[in-house]
C-alpha cells in the first residue's frame, strides 16, 4: 500500500461533547445530535454559525427506523445550507467520522467542521434491537441458517481463546476494568463494580459469551469540533492534533480467515502509524481506546494495534498494565462495556476521551502518565473494517 | 440551552418508554434475491450433494462459497473445484438463544468448518471455510474445546427434500 501521507494542512480537535448514553432516551435523533453538538461547540468556543461543514456517521438506518437517517438527524447539527457528508463502516463508523472530517479539513475544503455521530437503537424495539443485525449476514449462504449476531463474536472469541490459550476468567477482567472505569464517566450507562464470578455467572448467551461479556444496547450521540491550524490557534492554546489516520477494508467472507488475529485492525494501524511517524507503538502511544463491544475484543484489538504481543494482551491486563494508572491505560473512559454502545456514537466517544485525556481534562478518569499521544480504534462489519485515529498534543 | 431543559438527555425506564411511545410501525419488506453467477451453480451443486468452489490459480485460494473473481488478486477465477464434503472444525460455539434473542430449549452447536478440497492445501491464514451447524456434538464438546480440529462430514437432506439452499446440508457431523 502506498499513500500520500505528506499532507500540508494540520487538523486539530478543539472541542468534544456527549449526551448521556442510556438504554432509552426521550430525545429524538435530531435532539440528541443537537445536545452533543451544542456541548462540543461550547467547549470549543464556537457557535453553529461558525461551522462550514458537517461530517456525520450512524449505523444501519434500521435502528432509528428512518431510512434517510443522516439527512434526518443532521438538522440538529446546524446543517442547513452547508455541505454534509455521512460515512459508514458498521461499528467502525464512530472512528471513521473524524477520519473523514480530517480529509475535508486537511484538504482545505472545510476549515471549521462539526463532527457528529448518533444512534437511537431503542426505536427498533420489537423483538429486540439485535434483530436488526439479522440483515448483515450474507443473504444467501448465512442468513438461511438463522444466525444470531452473537454467533460471529462467539466464534471469533472461542478461536482466540483456543489459539492463544486465554481463559474466560482472563477475558472477564476486561469487562470488570472497563465497567469500573466508567463509574467516573458522567454519560455512563453500564458502570458497575463487578467480579469475575459476576461475569461468569451472568446469563450464558452463546458459549463462550455471557451477558456481561457484552456492551449494552444504547441511545446516544457524540460530537467533536475539528478545525484547520489557523483557526485552532485563534480559539485555543492547547489544540489536540490529528497525527495519523488509518482505515482499511477486507471482504465480507469472514469464515475464510484466521479469526484469532485482527488483520483488519493491523492494516489500518500500520497506515496510521506511518502517517504519525511512529515506529514503535508500544513506546509512542501513551493512552489507548481500543474498540470493546465485547471484552475479548479489547485484547484482540490491542494485539492488532501492536500494543500487545500476539496472544499477550491477557497477560498485560492481568498485570494491571492496561489499568487507568498502568503503563498503557486502556479504555480509561470505561469503553463500550461501561459507558455504553450507541454504535457510531460509542466510537466517537472514544475519540472524545483521547482528546480530553491529552488535554488533561478527563477529571476523575485522568490517566497518570501525562499522555502526549493517544489512539482510538474501532472495527466494523463482518470482521473486515478497521478504523484508527492518532491524536497528539 | 433555551426553553427546554436538555441536560445530557432524558433517560426512560422500560415502563416509561412504553407509556410515551407515539408511533409504532412494522415495516414489511420482502426481499427476493437473485443468487448471481457463482452462487447459482453452487446451489445447483448442493441439490446434487456436492459442495462446489472456484479456484484462483494466481494465489491458489479456493473460494467456498464460490466467487467469480479473486478478491485478493483482482482477477477472474480459473475453474470450478469440488470439496470432498469433509473438513475440520476451525472454531465452534454453543448457542442458547435464537436469532431474535429468545431462549432455545436445546443449545445449537455452530462452527466454522475449514473444508477439504482434494489436491489443494491451505494454511490457517486463508482457506475455504463456511459457517454451519454441527449436529452430533454437545455444548460440553464445545466448552472443553474437544471439538476444535474434529473431522466433520456434511449430512445431506434426502434428495427429494433439497431445494438448492445452504440448508440442503442438514448439518455437519463429527466422524
Ligand atoms: Zn488469487
Please report the domains of chain A, with CATH numbers, ordered by start residue: 11-123+216-392 (3.40.47.10)
Cell of B81: 473445484
Nearest to B123 by CA among B88, B152, B84, B93: B88
Mean pLDDT of A122-145: 88
- B28 in a domain, yes or no? no
Candidate from B39, B91, B167 with C-beta closest to A155? B91
Mean pLDDT of A268-292: 97
- Which residues contact residue B66 at a Cβ distance below 8 angstroms, ignoring those fewer than 6 apart? B38, B39, B41, B42, B52, B53, B54, B77, B80
- Tens of pLDDT, residues B20-73: 998 888 888 888 999 999 999 999 999 999 999 999 999 999 999 999 999 999
Please give the full DSSP string across A172-213, using - where no structure is assigned.
HHHHHHHHHHGGG-TT-SS-----HHHHHHSPEEEETEEGGG
8 A C-beta contact, residue A187 and residue A335: no
Give residue A1's pLDDT. 54
Contacts of A151 in chain B (CB under 8 A): 93, 95, 110, 131
Let me know the angle formed at the C-alpha of B11 by B6 and B15, rounded to the nearest 5 degrees.
Answer: 135
Tell me the shortest Cα–Cα distance from A45 to chain B, in angstroms.
15
Contacts of A128 in chain B (CB under 8 A): 100-101
Tell me the shortest Cα–Cα distance from B133 to chain A, in angstroms.
8
- Tens of pLDDT, residues A224-266: 999 999 999 999 999 999 999 999 999 999 999 999 999 999 9
Nearest to A305 by CA among A324, A282, A327: A282
Interface test with B, best of A34, A148, A187, A345 (most B CBs within 10 A): A148
Distance from Cα A333 to the centre of ligand 1, integer Å: 42
Contacts of A155 in chain B (CB under 8 A): 91-93, 110-112, 131
- Tens of pLDDT, residues B67-104: 999 999 999 999 999 999 999 999 999 999 987 788 99
Is it the case that residue A117 has pLDDT exceeding 70?
yes
- B24 in a domain, yes or no? no
Stated pTM of the model: 0.96
CB proximity A127 to B under 8 Å: yes
- Tens of pLDDT, residues B99-149: 778 899 999 999 999 999 999 999 999 999 999 999 999 999 999 999 999
Q: How many domains does chain B have?
A: 1
- Which residues contact residue A390 at a Cβ distance below 8 angstroms, ignoring those fewer than 6 apart? A242, A243, A244, A245, A272, A273, A275, A276, A278, A285, A373, A374, A375
Share above pLDDT 90 across residues of chain B, in percent, rounded to a whole number: 87
- Tens of pLDDT, residues A151-192: 999 999 999 999 999 999 999 999 999 999 999 999 999 999
Which residue reads 502517517 in cell numbers? A275
- B15 in a domain, yes or no? no
8 A C-beta contact, residue A12 and residue A230: no
Contacts of A47 in chain B (CB under 8 A): none
- Which residues contact residue A373 at a Cβ distance below 8 angstroms, ignoring those fewer than 6 apart? A243, A276, A278, A284, A285, A286, A358, A390, A391, A392, A393
Q: What are the b/e assignments for A35-72, b being 16+ CB within 10 Å? A: bbbbbbbebbebebebbbbbbbbbbbebbbbbeebbeb
Are B99 and A131 within 8 A, CB to CB? Answer: yes
- B48 in a domain, yes or no? yes
Domain that includes residue B76, residue range: 34-174
* The residue count for chain A: 393
Question: Residue A237's CB: how many other CB atoms inside 10 A?
Answer: 6
Q: Are strands B129-133 and B103-115 parallel, antiparallel or unpaired?
A: antiparallel
A125 confidence band (pLDDT: 50, 70, 90): confident
Check if the interface score ipTM surpasses 0.90.
yes
Residue B69 to residue A100: CA distance in whole angstroms: 30
Amino acid at each position: 500500500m502506498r499513500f500520500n501521507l505528506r499532507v500540508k494542512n494540520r487538523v486539530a480537535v478543539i472541542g468534544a461533547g456527549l449526551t448521556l448514553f442510556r438504554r432509552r432516551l426521550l430525545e429524538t435523533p435530531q435532539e440528541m445530535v443537537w445536545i452533543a453538538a451544542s456541548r462540543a461547540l461550547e467547549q470549543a468556543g464556537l457557535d453553529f454559525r461558525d461551522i462550514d461543514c458537517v461530517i456525520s456517521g450512524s449505523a444501519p438506518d434500521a435502528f432509528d427506523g428512518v431510512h434517510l437517517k443522516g439527512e434526518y438527524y443532521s438538522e440538529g447539527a446546524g446543517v442547513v445550507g452547508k455541505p454534509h457528508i455521512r460515512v459508514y463502516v458498521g461499528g467502525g463508523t464512530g472512528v471513521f467520522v473524524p477520519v473523514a472530517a480530517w480529509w475535508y479539513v486537511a484538504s482545505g475544503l472545510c476549515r471549521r467542521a462539526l463532527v457528529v455521530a448518533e444512534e437511537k437503537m431503542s426505536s427498533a424495539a420489537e423483538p429486540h434491537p439485535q434483530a436488526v443485525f439479522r440483515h448483515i449476514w450474507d443473504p444467501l449462504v448465512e442468513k438461511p441458517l438463522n444466525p444470531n449476531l452473537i454467533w460471529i463474536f462467539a466464534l471469533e472469541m472461542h478461536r482466540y481463546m483456543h489459539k492463544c490459550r486465554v481463559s474466560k476468567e482472563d477475558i472477564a477482567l476486561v469487562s470488570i476494568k472497563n465497567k469500573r472505569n466508567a463509574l467516573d464517566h458522567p454519560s455512563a450507562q453500564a458502570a458497575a463494580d463487578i467480579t469475575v464470578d459476576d461475569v461468569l455467572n451472568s446469563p450464558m448467551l452463546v458459549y463462550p459469551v455471557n451477558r456481561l461479556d457484552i456492551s449494552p444496547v444504547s441511545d446516544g450521540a457524540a460530537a467533536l469540533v475539528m478545525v484547520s491550524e489557523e483557526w485552532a490557534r485563534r480559539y485555543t492554546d492547547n489544540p489536540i492534533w490529528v497525527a495519523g489516520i488509518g482505515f482499511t477494508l477486507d471482504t465480507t467472507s469472514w469464515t475464510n480467515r484466521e479469526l484469532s488475529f485482527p488483520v483488519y485492525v493491523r492494516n489500518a494501524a500500520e497506515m496510521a502509524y506511518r502517517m504519525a511517524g511512529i515506529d514503535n507503538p508500544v513506546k509512542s502511544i501513551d493512552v489507548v481506546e481500543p474498540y470493546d463491544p465485547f471484552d475479548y475484543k479489547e485484547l484482540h484489538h490491542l494485539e492488532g494495534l501492536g500494543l500487545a504481543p500476539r496472544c499477550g494482551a491477557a497477560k498485560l491486563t492481568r498485570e494491571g498494565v492496561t489499568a487507568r494508572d498502568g503503563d498503557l491505560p486502556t479504555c480509561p473512559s470505561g469503553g463500550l462495556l461501561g459507558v455504553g454502545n450507541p454504535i457510531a456514537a460509542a466510537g466517537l466517544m472514544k475519540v472524545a476521551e483521547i482528546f480530553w485525556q491529552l488535554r488533561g481534562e478527563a477529571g476523575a478518569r485522568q490517566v497518570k502518565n501525562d499522555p502526549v499521544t493517544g489512539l482510538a480504534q474501532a472495527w466494523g462489519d463482518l470482521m473486515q473494517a478497521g478504523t484508527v485515529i492518532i491524536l497528539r498534543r | 440551552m433555551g426553553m427546554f431543559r436538555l441536560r445530557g438527555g432524558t433517560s426512560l425506564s422500560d415502563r416509561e418508554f412504553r407509556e410515551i411511545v407515539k408511533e409504532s410501525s412494522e415495516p414489511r419488506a420482502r426481499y427476493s434475491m437473485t443468487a448471481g453467477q457463482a452462487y447459482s451453480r453452487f446451489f445447483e451443486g448442493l441439490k446434487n450433494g456436492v459442495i462446489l468452489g472456484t479456484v484462483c490459480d494466481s494465489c491458489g485460494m479456493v473460494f467456498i462459497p464460490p466467487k467469480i473473481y479473486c478478491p485478493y488478486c483482482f482477477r477472474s477465477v480459473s475453474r470450478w473445484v469440488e470439496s470432498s464434503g469433509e473438513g475440520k472444525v476451525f472454531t465452534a460455539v454453543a448457542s442458547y438463544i435464537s436469532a431474535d434473542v429468545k431462549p432455545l430449549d436445546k443449545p445449537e452447536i455452530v462452527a466454522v468448518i475449514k473444508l477439504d478440497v482434494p489436491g489443494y492445501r491451505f494454511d490457517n491464514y486463508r482457506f475455504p471455510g463456511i459457517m454451519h451447524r454441527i449436529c452430533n456434538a454437545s455444548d460440553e464438546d464445545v466448552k472443553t474445546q474437544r471439538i476444535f480440529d474434529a473431522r466433520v462430514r456434511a449430512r445431506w437432506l434426502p434428495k427429494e427434500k433439497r431445494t438448492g439452499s445452504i440448508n440442503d446440508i442438514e448439518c455437519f457431523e463429527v466422524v
